[in-house]
Amino acid sequence: MNEYSVLLYYCYSRIEDPEEFREQHHLRCLELGLKGRIIIAEEGLNGTVSGLAADCETYMQEVKDDPRFSDIEFKVDTAPEHTFEKLHVRVKPEIVHASLPNIDPRKKTGGYVEPEEFREILRAQPEDTVILDVRSNYEHNIGKFKNAITLDIENFRDFPEKVKELEHLKNKKVITYCTGGIKCEKASAYLLDQGFEDVHQLHGGIIKYGIEAEGEDFEGKCYVFDNRIVKDLNQVNPKVISKCFVTGKPSDRMVNCANPHCNKHIPMSEEGAEIYNGCCSEECSKNPEVRPYDGSGYYQKEMNGYNPYKGLKRKTTTA
């Protein structure tokens, strides 16, 4: 039974004192028993957390009750347990690292395309329209929309440099997409800033599309940033597009190489993992510090004395 909820959300809204807000927000998340990653900046709030369904309902209502986040939209999934091991609430310069501090989506960003409209566009594939994936390689390698243009980037902060390769699309209608929508707010704004005139974005990203449009024509699985790593999305015409790094056979099972010095994040089938005992190559398998392969390909970092209250100025103790 799925008693837990997984929330994915963001909101671009001015936070005058991010450090003070972080302090209060961190403490409230602890009181509600939430785990996950939350980023706070002067430009807004970005998070993905898990918790008991009732506690997540309380959290969502309290965030929405704050006038700064009244129009925030939560993408809600279910899970049988927590999808995170820890809670981290941090202040950073941007709520998504884009190296575009001067781009303000509150002032200019691409218009929204709702999931059902996007589904129709995917079906029709009009010649004057291109679908642009603004995610990183390891994300779109495991799953992407049919006929989408992908970029060879390791991190979203590399996106501005890659825009130079898209000059030939300036006369097209460009629709960007990402996991939950946050990257597209800045990506579409930057494209407009660079002279692209007809720029739009999939509202709510892949996750909202999966909820409202059954994920149709999303090929592969959706990469998510929690312990699940990937999740099924397409309920209409699913297919596997990624291949096992070792065997070359179709596989959408994402793992890390058992060699901690490599730690390559790749698709690897159970068959492929058996060949080098969880490693991506024979060379890696011979490293004396190879981690024991338990069949999962997931290597949880040690807690190293993790204290959920670390960073709080108020030395609060657990109730």
Asked if 29 and 82 count as a contact pair (C-beta separation under 8 A), the reply is no
Share of the chain above pLDDT 70, in %: 96
Please give the mean pLDDT across all residues of the chain.
Answer: 94
Residue 303: pLDDT band by 50, 70, 90 thresholds?
low
Domain with CATH 3.40.250.10 in the chain: 111-223
Three-state SS at 87 = strand
CA-to-CA dists, residue 226 to 36, 130, 257, angstroms: 8, 30, 18
Which CB contacts under 8 angstroms, 24+ apart, belong to 270-277?
Answer: 270/295, 271/244, 271/247, 272/244, 272/245, 272/246, 272/247, 273/246, 273/297, 275/246, 275/247, 276/246
State yes or no: pLDDT of 93 exceeds 80.
Answer: yes
Question: Does position 150 have pLDDT exceeding 60, yes or no?
Answer: yes
Instruction: Tell me which of 11, 29, 56, 178 is the catalytic residue.
Output: 178
* pLDDT-based confidence at residue 100 (cuts at 50, 70, 90): confident
Is 222 catalytic? The answer is no
- Name the band, by pLDDT with cuts 50, 70 and 90, for residue 304: low
Confidence of residue 302 (pLDDT cuts 50, 70, 90): low
Q: What is the CATH number of domain 4-91?
A: 3.30.70.100
Q: What is the pLDDT of residue 305?
A: 66
What fold does the segment set 111-223 form as a domain?
A: Oxidized Rhodanese; domain 1 (3.40.250)
Per residue in 223-266, pLDDT (tens digit) is 999 999 999 999 999 999 999 999 999 999 999 999 999 999 99
Residue 99 has pLDDT above 50, yes or no: yes
DSSP codes of every residue in the chain: ---EEEEEEEEE---S-HHHHHHHHHHHHHHTT-EEEEEEETTEEEEEEEEEHHHHHHHHHHHHHSGGGTT---EEEEESS-S-S-EEEEE-S-SS--S-TT--TTTS-PEEE-HHHHHHHHHH--TTEEEEE-S-HHHHTTEEETT-B----SSGGGHHHHGGGGGGGTTSEEEEE-SSSHHHHHHHHHHHHTT--SEEEETTHHHHHHHHHTTTTEEE-EE-SSTT-EE---SSS-----B-TTT-SB---EEE-S-TTT--EEE--HHHHHHTTT-SSHHHHT-TTPPPP-SS---PPP-TT--TTTT-SS-----
- pLDDT the model gives residue 318: 45
- Mean pLDDT of the region 53-82: 97
CATH 3.30.70.100 residue ranges for the chain = 4-91
Model confidence over 4-15: pLDDT tens digits?
999 999 999 999
The residues near 149 (Cβ < 8 Å, ≥ 6 apart) are: 130, 131, 132, 133, 166, 169
Q: What does pTM read for this prediction?
A: 0.90
